[in-house]
Amino acid sequence: MFEVRGLKYKYPNAQDYAVDGIDFEIRQGEIFGFLGPSGAGKSTTQKILIKLLKDYQGEILYRGKKLTEYSDEFYQDIGVSFEMPISFSKLTAMENLEFFRRLYKETVDVEPLLRRVGLWEDRHKKTGEYSKGMKIRLNFVRALLNNPKMLFLDEPTNGIDPVNGKIMKDMIREFRAQGGTVFLTSHIMSDVDELCDRVAFIVNGKIREVDSPRNLKLKYGKRVVRVEYRENGNVVSKEFTMEEIKTPAFFELLKTKDIETLHSGETTLEDIFIKVTGVALHG
């Protein structure tokens, strides 16, 4: 869907590049997570991909054609859900959607979408009276309004309660199942882990890792199984390598001891984020 080669971007009057020679691709039909600490270049990259920032170096191809060769009609193809609420506060949700709906050639019926995200009953309320979570859900509906082929989602579940968060994640998965492609940035690593087919970690404008969450966990995790059992009133912990769990010693332990917990050494995406980005080092 997108091919990015040698992308560099420096803001006017800035000394350093915000994005410093990155390469990656977003494949059609995948959910691509773009992760990194604040100021790493995530938002800048997203703004370049959605044609808000133009004076970049390098090459970006969208569906095989240079992004610079697309006119504003490019926006017929994409939907963008920003992190912050973006609606006109004195207009109702329906008035907001109606205004934006008229700017596109192809649009969808908003009723099923609004019902799904729980805003149908409040559709005639001014969005200024909406809670933050409601505004973010409306952003999401707004992004889907033009039946896009590609979605850019910036922190789509931030500030949303778990029930609505799950609904939105289901909708994102359904969008992918119907052939849609998603570029997702989020700080909620559990969401990224649940949703993304591949993730890229960006630090100081450079990409450090691009792979599937599974492969990253294999790469950064410990290939061990940790067993905790009780012995003489104390909790004892013992680690076995993947080779050792095939040995009689491991099975003997399981049979003879009072096992309390059994964990694999698989790491979390959050730990990988900290390792790759060095956020923990900076406190």
Partner 1 sequence: MAKLGILVQGELDRLRKYNLFTATTVVLLLWVGMTWLLEAGEVTAFVPLILLMDSTMMSSLLVGATLFYEKKEHAINSILVTPVPETEYIAAKIIVSVFNSLLTFLALAATAYFLKGVTFNFALVAAAVVVITAFHALLGIWFAFFSKNFSSLLVNLMLYIIFLMLPPVLADLGIIGEKIARFFIILPPDAAGTMLQAGFATVPLGRLIFGFVYLLALSAALYKYIVLPGFNQYAMRETGV
Point out which residues bind partner 1 (CB under 8 A): 11-12, 43-44, 47, 50, 52-54, 72-76, 78, 80, 82, 84-91, 95, 99-100, 102-105, 142
124 or 219: CB nearest partner 1? 124
Query: Crossing angle, helix 213-220 and helix 269-277, to 10 degrees?
Result: 70
129 or 239: CB nearest partner 1? 129
Spatial separation of the C-alpha atoms in residues 56 and 58, rounded to whole Å = 7
Paired residues of 116 in beta bridges: none
The CB-of-273 to partner 1 minimum distance in angstroms stands at 22
The CB-of-225 to partner 1 minimum distance in angstroms stands at 45
53 or 61: CB nearest partner 1? 53
The CB-of-86 to partner 1 minimum distance in angstroms stands at 4
143 or 272: CB nearest partner 1? 143
84 or 259: CB nearest partner 1? 84
116 or 135: CB nearest partner 1? 135
The CB-of-185 to partner 1 minimum distance in angstroms stands at 13
Spatial separation of the C-alpha atoms in residues 86 and 88, rounded to whole Å = 7
The CB-of-216 to partner 1 minimum distance in angstroms stands at 29
The CB-of-226 to partner 1 minimum distance in angstroms stands at 43
Name the E strands within the chain. Answer: 2-9, 19-26, 31-35, 57-62, 65-66, 78-81, 150-154, 181-185, 198-203, 206-211, 224-231, 234-241, 258-264
The owner of tokens 């109606």 is 98
**SS3 (DSSP) at 216:** helix
